[in-house]
Amino acid sequence: MEKVSTKYFSNIDLTNLEEWYESKIVLNGHTIDISISVSKKYKIDPKNILEVDHYVENLKNNEENIRRIIHQDFKEEGETNTYLDTQIEVQEEKDISALIETIDNKLGNKEKLLSILFLLRIVFYPEQEDKMFAVFDYTIDSNLTDDLLAVKLYKDKNVRIDIES
């Protein structure tokens, strides 16, 4: 029995893998669900599990890097812009106003929504065969919308931003 002891996911038995490992962490005043997703058909290298643990340990810095990517995507009018435009279009005006009422009035509504976008969940994929490293799901308000801005980090260091619901 080969077990990997992690700070966030307890002991993971590599000879008897579960498909899902879950934990929670508080970051920037929000409770974030963190998960590891594995397929039982692949073998997991213990160093990949420890890499996830290390990444979560440094989540404050890592998440700041993700935010820079989101802001750059916003400036380039990418998916972040589309996500925010969609939320402004589909949500009740009073709901959007309630979310952004305390934000600097010098900013436009999209910039205000961008400033309140928060990390809801992260799913890690530690399998060697999987090209994905992690997916960071952001929302303006999880009670208001099921739509997410998904920032996908690949093991080859590529990043892709999608809208998911």
The per-residue pLDDT for range 105-115, each reduced to its tens digit, is 899 999 999 99
What value does the mean pLDDT take over residues 85-95? 95
Of all residues in the chain, the percent with pLDDT exceeding 90 is 82
**Rounded to an integer, what distance in angstroms lies between the CA atom of residue 159 and that of residue 143?**
27
pLDDT of 28 reads: 87
* Number of CB atoms found within 10 A of residue 148's CB: 20
Which residues of the chain form beta strands (DSSP E)?
3-5, 11-13, 20-27, 30-37, 118-124, 132-139, 148-154, 159-164
What range defines the domain where residue 72 resides? 3-164
Domain count, the chain: 1
**Rounded to an integer, what distance in angstroms lies between the CA atom of residue 165 and that of residue 89?**
16
* Number of CB atoms found within 10 A of residue 164's CB: 12
pLDDT of 1 reads: 56
**Rounded to an integer, what distance in angstroms lies between the CA atom of residue 49 and that of residue 127?**
9
pTM of this structure: 0.93
Closest CA to 159 of 137, 132, 129: 132
